Structure 1
Amino acid sequence: MVFIVNVVKRLYNGAINKRNLITLPLNFLINFSLIFLWLQLFGHAGIVPNDIRPKINSHIAFFADLYLFGDYWNEIKNQGLSNHHIITTFATSFAFLVIGTIVVPLSIWYYLYYVKRLKYNFFNKFDYLLHYNVNTQTFSPKHFRSLFLPFFLPLFTFIILNIDHYFASQNQENFTKAKDLLAWTFYVILHVTAPILTAVYLYVFHPAGVLKCFALTLGIQNICGVFTHMLLPMAPPWFTHMYGIYDTEHVNYTQEGFAAGLTRFDAHLGSHMNTNGFHLSPIVFGAVPSIHSAIGFQCFLFLVATSTKLKNRFVKNTMHNRLSQSSDDSASDVNIEYFDLNSDKSFKLSNEQSFDQLEINDYNEQRLSQPQNEAEEYVAGSMHSYSSDALSTISGMSENAENTVSLNTNKKSPFVEYYIQDIGVSSRFYFRILNIISLPRVLGFLFITIQWWATIYLDHHYRFDLFIGMLYALFANIFINQLLLQPKIMEKFIDIRLGKKADDDNEGRTMGMRVFKGTKYEWFFDPLA
């Protein structure tokens, strides 16, 4: 019972963080207000009188998809378009690939870094401090992170969409129960739960305010999407495949929505859940942009851009001991193993050579009482003081051992360190695996890739719709990133961790760090670790 009470208390205090049960929900409502507004706009779109709505265009998305991405499904032949040629779609698709997804983005990249001479990552001003070893790395606009985010994202989207398109052909032979279930899971279930899971991840693993930025970008892109649906209504692919490209009878605002490929899922379950739900859709001709694509890609952006690999920066140039005793608990069998993460080497000392007990200071308060003036200056990085005997032992070993650790206690660390990282814990195999695969990035990539495939497979959106949805998400992200996330949220967090500002509101820690404060797992929730 004591353990359960302590766990609940830590979770409560970590989540509240100097707020209360009134201000916390109020803060949540304010931060997510744009999402609530979007839901209201979408849900009440049907109240707009039909006679004042703009004309529905059932051709634009269809032809844009063919000529920007290529006619791989022989749609020209299937729709009987004798005045169009498949070879032309591949030529225009190649032109769009080169000009639209490579030349234009790289021209913007060149202008920012070589004309305006920007000296930091445009997409992430503190990229150098967050993602690299600051002692050895310097910023370069040619680095993969500076190119991929955001300049290679259109090319990335073009490639993935065409790969997904290949595996989502609308042939009866391609439809299977397993694919239908997978598509339903990503298109319906994860469309709702993925943003929630992303929000939880951002709140637990990232600085205060990052979640607010995520909510604002979702709200902005979705509101812009609804207004686009209302002002520029376009037909989805299921409409063309059901009625044909020349149909005019059903191109009106009385047309009911259709679940398309989701009807196969209903057939598997013997229900009408999806069919009935889509019949009630308030915006039937809201194909462009795809809100599914915009939401999924926004999750992908925040997972890829904000997550960092675990670099163990707070145990470099420090010593950690691990005691292991034999079955008879003999003192002569006690060994201490020391690690040097800079060289990935270790050595062992017998108990005769072991260190004196290390004195651990109240590091956090000491650092915060000594704020710095320049971001490039380092705060003292060692959290240990060693006895003269221990230091002489190290000195003697450094002269005689080939693979001894280089203990530079005078070398400084760039950030205020809130904890002592136990290398015996952080070097465990499962943490090493998480470090190698960079789990948030992998999950973000898999989610958007399968989400796009499911959307095409279910015949709900063209590649063009999904690409435009990506652009809505990207522009909304850049807008909030430049207006709020970088200059307000991240700069404040970095200043606190550099010791330039006092951490009066405990914002140098993430929620996870607050919950696990003082334990061996606090480091895992630190975005700087």
Structure 2
Amino acid sequence: MLEDVFGAVGRFFLHVYKTLLNRHSLFGLLRHILINMTFILIWITTFKNAWRIDASIRPLIDVNYLEEADRRVFDLSFEGIFIQCVVSALGYAWMYALTRRSKLSILAALPPFLLNILYAGTHSLCSALDVFAWLSYGVIHFISPFLAAFWLWLFASPGVVSVFAWSFGIQNCLGIITHLSFPSAAPWYGDQYGYPLPPGNYSMPGSAAGLVRVDAVLGTHIYANAFKASPLVFGAFPSLHGAFSCCCFFFIARYSRKGSFMLGFYVLWQWFSTMYLRHHWRIDLLGGLLYSAFAFSFFYRSLGRIDRAYATGVSGGNGWQRLFEGTRLQFWFDHRPEKGYMAVMESSENGESGRTSIEVVMRERSEGDLEAAWVEDLGATWKTREPRVSPV
């Protein structure tokens, strides 16, 4: 009996191991992961060693510009409202250019106004809000990319995790290049050193700002010590905390409607937390969104090709389907293709492609049959499987 249990457990872990390899050798899988993490490793290495750069060759620190720019862009003056409307229109145009979906594009027009609304709620301090902000800024922030990557591996088209890693790494590399070439002060700088702001220098320690209150609640000095020893103190713009959450949102929202609501809330939560804890200005968060949107747009066509390959069955199943292959759970989240037919690709108005059934295509193309649609190149392909011949 005990041997059977150990045997079943062993077979289970062997199956999980083979699923993770996905027809790669162990060396090939590790090489694949390292290649996809190239820009992530460059970003981490650069950040950790930023303190080694000689201050004599680094640019001057501008401690006033971001605060002035933030006030100019987000104040409820004629100029501020005009700039916000321009940014909103650009956001709408960007999303519409990608998706050709007007309702979805409206969401991309909201960030400037949402940042102002969230900022209005950051002035009242209390222990409950301290913990609420800490959970997002100091805990979930660090695990969110791993959770997003795991979810994408399970449920998105095969290959999307690689694109996510490249997009995530590129946005962070662009961010740290900006931090090094345009050093700027966060809101806590004025809180700590007072006004008028004294000139910044690279020997100044970092500050945990509002997270000091969280240390007091938890009875620790974790965040005070960690931020004091930060290798890159003057790196407010863009906010990579904001960029992290936006990157996760873009990818998860593409493949899950429920996930879009959850990650949308997380983005707003992160935006509120960074401002409440005095680590970033509103314009820093808008910059983080811009960097993340740029990286996502750069790989958008690649995602379309990956999705088409998955929809036609060329790239095989996703992680969940491979993990539970041959069981009732295999197609728990994705419908099994119709028997007797290969997957059917149906083009949509927004240029995306998805897996659908023969009945759906026939219903939507009632004016002609599938063969006519294929001949006229209307976007549907129909392939029949060869009948199996039973051995005599």
Q: TM-score over 0.5 for the alignment? A: yes
Whether the 8 Å contact between 2:87 and 2:112 is mirrored in structure 1 is no
Shift of 1:524: 2.9
CA change 1:25–1:142 in 2 (3 A) is closer
Report the equivalent of 2:364: none
CA distance in 2, matches of 1:297, 1:107: 18
Q: Deviation per CA, 1:127-184, whole angstroms, max 9, x where unpaired?
A: xxxxxxxxxxxxxx45424x25xxx42x222232122212211xxxx22222212211
Alignment of 1:270-289 (within 5 A): 270-289=219-238
Amino acid at match of 1:15: L
Report the equivalent of 2:317: 509
CA distance in 2, matches of 1:185, 1:156: 25
Shift of 1:12: 2.3
CA change 1:143–1:9 in 2 (3 A) is farther
Q: Deviation per CA, 1:476-529, whole angstroms, max 9, x where unpaired?
A: 1101223x3334x233323x33xxxxx4xxx32001011112222222343858
CA distance in 1, matches of 2:110, 2:88: 8
Within the candidate set 62, 87, 110, 1:156 is matched to 110
Please identify the structure whose Cα radius of gyration is greater: 1
Report the equivalent of 2:103: 144
Report the equivalent of 2:169: 219
CA distance in 2, matches of 1:266, 1:222: 27
Report the equivalent of 1:91: 78
CA distance in 2, matches of 1:49, 1:195: 32
CA distance in 2, matches of 1:299, 1:258: 27
CA change 1:492–1:528 in 2 (3 A) is closer
Alignment of 1:406-421 (within 5 A): none
Amino acid at match of 1:523: F
**Structure 1 stretches lacking a partner, 5+ long:** 71-88, 113-121, 124-140, 308-437, 498-502
CA change 1:303–1:107 in 2 (3 A) is closer
Report the equivalent of 1:100: 87
Within the candidate set 30, 34, 40, 2:35 is matched to 30
Aligned residues: 332
Whether the 8 Å contact between 1:217 and 1:476 is mirrored in structure 2 is yes
CA change 1:195–1:108 in 2 (3 A) is closer
Shift of 1:11: 2.1
Amino acid at match of 2:303: L
CA distance in 2, matches of 1:300, 1:108: 16
CA distance in 2, matches of 1:272, 1:266: 5
CA distance in 1, matches of 2:191, 2:355: 51
Whether the 8 Å contact between 1:58 and 1:245 is mirrored in structure 2 is no
The answer to whether residue 218 in structure 2 is matched with residue 269 in structure 1 is: yes
CA distance in 1, matches of 2:128, 2:51: 35
Shift of 1:98: 1.7
Whether the 8 Å contact between 2:64 and 2:197 is mirrored in structure 1 is no
Shift of 1:210: 0.3
The answer to whether residue 48 in structure 2 is matched with residue 43 in structure 1 is: yes
Report the equivalent of 1:233: 183
Within the candidate set 117, 131, 148, 1:181 is matched to 131
Whether the 8 Å contact between 1:168 and 1:453 is mirrored in structure 2 is yes
Within the candidate set 486, 506, 517, 2:304 is matched to 486
Shift of 1:14: 2.1
Whether the 8 Å contact between 2:47 and 2:231 is mirrored in structure 1 is yes
- Give me the identity figure in percent: 31
Aligned with 1:187: secondary structure? helix
Aligned with 2:233: secondary structure? coil
Amino acid at match of 1:211: V
Shift of 1:52: 1.1
CA change 1:511–1:269 in 2 (3 A) is same
Which aligned segments of 4 or more residues in structure 1 are displaced greater than 6 angstroms? none
CA distance in 2, matches of 1:272, 1:105: 40
Amino acid at match of 1:192: F
Aligned with 2:278: secondary structure? coil
Report the equivalent of 2:289: 470
Amino acid at match of 2:88: T
Report the equivalent of 2:375: none
Give the TM-score normalised by structure 1: 0.60
The answer to whether residue 163 in structure 2 is matched with residue 209 in structure 1 is: no
Amino acid at match of 1:516: F
Q: Deviation per CA, 1:403-443, whole angstroms, max 9, x where unpaired?
A: xxxxxxxxxxxxxxxxxxxxxxxxxxxxxxxxxxx431122
Amino acid at match of 1:178: A
Report the equivalent of 2:242: 293
Report the equivalent of 1:253: 202
Amino acid at match of 2:34: L
Report the equivalent of 1:54: 59
Q: Deviation per CA, 1:297-318, whole angstroms, max 9, x where unpaired?
A: 10011111232xxxxxxxxxxx
Q: Which structure ranks higher in relative contact order (CA pairs < 8 Å, sequence separation ≥ 6)?
A: 1
Aligned with 2:237: secondary structure? coil
Amino acid at match of 1:471: L
Report the equivalent of 2:367: none
> Which structure's residues are more often helix, by fraction?
2
Q: Deviation per CA, 1:336-367, whole angstroms, max 9, x where unpaired?
A: xxxxxxxxxxxxxxxxxxxxxxxxxxxxxxxx
Give the TM-score normalised by structure 2: 0.79
Shift of 1:105: 4.2
